[in-house]
Amino acid sequence: MEEKLQEVTYTEDNIRTLDWKEHIRRRPGMYIGKLGDGSHSDDGIYVLLKETMDNSMDEYMMGFGKTIDVTIRDGKVTVRDHGRGIPLGKVVDVASKMNTGGKYDSKAFKKSVGLNGVGIKAVNALSTYFRVSSYRDGEMKTVEFECGNVIKEYPITKTDEPNGTLTEFIPDNSIFKDYQYQSEYIEPLLKNYVFLNSGLSIIFNGKRFHSRNGLVDLLNEYMTTDALYPIIHLKGDDIEMVLTHTNQYGEEYYSFVNGQHTTQGGTHLSAFREAVSRTVKEYFAKNFDYADIRSGMVGAISIKVEEPVFESQTKTKLGSKDMGPDGVSVSKFIGDFVKKELDNFLHINHETSDIMLQKIQESEKERKAIAGVTKLARERAKKANLHNRKLRDCRVHLNDTKGKDQEGSSIFITEGDSASGSITKSRDVTTQAVFSLRGKPLNTFGMTKKVVYENEEFNLLQAALNIEDGIEGLRYNKVIIATDADVDGMHIRLLLITFFLQFFPDLIKKGHVYILQTPLFRVRNKKKTSYCYTEEERLSAIKELSPNPEITRFKGLGEISPDEFKHFIGPDMRLEPVTLRKNDLVKELLEFYMGKNTMERQNFIIDNLVIEEDIA
């Protein structure tokens, strides 16, 4: 006899309307993206800071206030601008009523970022303490909130403070678990603001950030390879661009809309790349391939748009196709500017155009030299049947080859049957893929890109990641190197990083490459098991679980059972990002660690040698 399906009622009682605060707190990802604890640059606590800063920046962009003070201490954020100040009668509404703000009046804020009046409300709702004070023409108004609820509203009083707004907040620790602001992620955010707004000063915990040369300063800050010619800097109404070439592989761009760093690009970046390629090709009157023109290119573009349309609340990708009331397309606006200004520049600056021509011809020569190898390599990659032989893909990608489901997915690169087997059995098959290396990878330092296609491991890895034509097609948001914590594992890790630095440096610069941290020890007794990632954690666990707990040293990933491994590659897995900074010159780094300076490297190892005690 069949069991009757349990009846589920669906009536008016099932329909609920959430209060704005409750909706933001229940669905914070809709407003600020991921949550996190501050250990990554895109964690939510930095979005809260950015949303607050964007309001101050909108004031500056409208011509009010040249200095913004930012203080972060003990988890509390304070931002003081010197703009016009919020109209005193609307302080409560601006901070706590959805769809309320000055950005809807295009006369007051013509080219703002915080268009929808949501950002500061999200900061308010996600903070256990939120206080906003507006100073305006000798008067001030202050309101205090807790999780979006007004807890104290002060009357309007007289003040000697100059005009502007003071915003203070403490993120909710129950939402942002054990969060901690880190200067290494805050300073690049603040630097971008001053690079995009010459004349603006931002004081962060007493440290002053200021830029005289705009996007030129930005490129000099982020380039890790020397420019082949002085940076081309072109500026017009509502548009600024910089451009140069380096001797690195791939392309590298930074794009901005109304001061917002669009890390995923969008219509403006696509238009910029297309316009630059077309203009350069027409200038030299040669049938250059666009890939050769853009090989080694580093650039940045910033535009100001009325009522920009972004593809998410976090504003990382521009979706706008129209510029404004006249209906001028973003592509035409950028294309016309680049065509006129870049073409004029190249006609006047022959020394620069000669160096550019030489770089393009070298790229063309190399591409043609490996054309035959490339074709064979592509065929080999298809025959290798990636999905069965090397790559155990995740479900979101099994029918996806264009990277449309990249966000939220990751791929583990590991070596050896036991290690890849443990990860494969333990992973989340929906979002986590595994790529298995066979033996140690080749040291690619000093080699040309031909080796990527001639070496089967790298050819198949490139195909699995879908980065042959650039990281726009990258199929996984996180590329995680998972090797043993021994000498061989460290060597494999270094060889893989060398490969990425040589041929796909933007993969690292854009924050896609990570090192998986796995425990070195397991300390347990009959009641409790502790996994320890450092010697300090091991000693602490021994003390806690005394007397005489069982201590196991994991020498390889294969020694960790699949059941245990699930804990180490789940939502709370420890990942160490591989980063590149201004002072990390790629050529010099690789020369030292992977070059032929054997004696110099040997002396460095001896001078920095640490002897590990036997803990068996």
Interval 393-415 mean pLDDT:
72
pLDDT for residue 477 is more than 70: yes
Interval 326-332 mean pLDDT:
76
- Determine the pLDDT at residue 11: 57
- 390 contact partners, CB below 8 Å, separation of at least 6: 384, 435, 436, 460, 461, 464
- Determine the pLDDT at residue 1: 44
Q: Which amino acid is at 554?
A: F
- The H-or-E segment that residue 589 falls in is helix 586-594
pLDDT for residue 415 is more than 90: no
Measure the CA–CA gap between 316 and 268, rounded to whole angstroms.
12
- pLDDT tens string 596-606: 655 554 454 44
- pLDDT tens string 69-114: 999 999 999 999 999 998 888 888 888 765 444 443 444 334 555 4
pLDDT for residue 495 is more than 80: yes
Domain coordinates in residue numbering, the chain? 20-209, 215-369, 371-518+558-583, 521-553
| CATH number of this structure's domain 371-518+558-583, picked from the four choices 3.30.1490.20, 3.80.10.10, 3.40.50.880, 3.40.50.670 | 3.40.50.670
Nearest to 389 by CA among 442, 475, 456, 453: 456
The two most distant CA atoms of the chain are separated, in Å, by 89
Binned at pLDDT 50, 70 and 90, residue 446 comes out as: confident
pLDDT for residue 383 is more than 70: no
- Determine the pLDDT at residue 364: 93
pLDDT for residue 224 is more than 60: yes
Is 105:84 a contact under the CB 8 Å cutoff?
A: no
362 — phi, psi (to 5°)?
-65, -40
- Determine the pLDDT at residue 244: 97
pLDDT for residue 396 is more than 90: no
User: Topology of 215-369 in CATH?
Assistant: Ribosomal Protein S5; domain 2 (3.30.230)
pLDDT for residue 325 is more than 70: no
Q: Reduced to 3 states, what is the DSSP secondary structure of residue 378?
A: helix
pLDDT for residue 355 is more than 70: yes
- Determine the pLDDT at residue 612: 41
Interval 272-300 mean pLDDT:
94
Interval 429-442 mean pLDDT:
88
At residue 21's C-alpha, the angle toward residues 16 and 26, to 5°, is 70
Query: For the chain, what is the mean pLDDT?
Result: 81
- pLDDT tens string 547-582: 888 998 887 777 788 888 888 888 778 888 887 766
Interval 148-163 mean pLDDT:
92
Measure the CA–CA gap between 612 and 470, rounded to whole angstroms.
42
Using DSSP bridges, classify how beta strands 139-146 and 149-153 pair: parallel, antiparallel or unpaired. Answer: antiparallel
Measure the CA–CA gap between 601 and 591, rounded to whole angstroms.
10
- Determine the pLDDT at residue 210: 94
Q: CB-hemisphere CA count at 13 Å for 62?
A: 24
pLDDT for residue 196 is more than 60: yes
492 — phi, psi (to 5°)?
-60, -45
pLDDT for residue 585 is more than 60: no
Binned at pLDDT 50, 70 and 90, residue 130 comes out as: very high
189 — phi, psi (to 5°)?
-60, -45
pLDDT for residue 367 is more than 80: yes
Count the neighbouring beta carbons within 10 Å of the beta carbon of residue 59. Answer: 22
pTM, full prediction: 0.76
Better-predicted residue by pLDDT, 18 or 230: 230
Measure the CA–CA gap between 495 and 520, rounded to whole angstroms.
22
pLDDT for residue 179 is more than 80: yes
Superfamily of domain 20-209: Histidine kinase-like ATPase, C-terminal domain (3.30.565.10)
Measure the CA–CA gap between 505 and 164, rounded to whole angstroms.
42
Nearest to 475 by CA among 388, 588, 394: 394
- Determine the pLDDT at residue 316: 63
Q: Reduced to 3 states, what is the DSSP secondary structure of residue 166?
A: strand
Is 594:494 a contact under the CB 8 Å cutoff?
A: yes
Q: Find the range with the poorest average confidence among 145-149, 284-288, 375-379, 506-510.
A: 375-379
Interval 490-495 mean pLDDT:
86
Binned at pLDDT 50, 70 and 90, residue 610 comes out as: very low
Q: Find the range with the poorest average confidence among 94-108, 163-177, 397-411, 538-552.
A: 94-108
- Determine the pLDDT at residue 329: 83
Interval 109-121 mean pLDDT:
56
- Determine the pLDDT at residue 609: 46
Interval 467-485 mean pLDDT:
86
- Determine the pLDDT at residue 336: 93
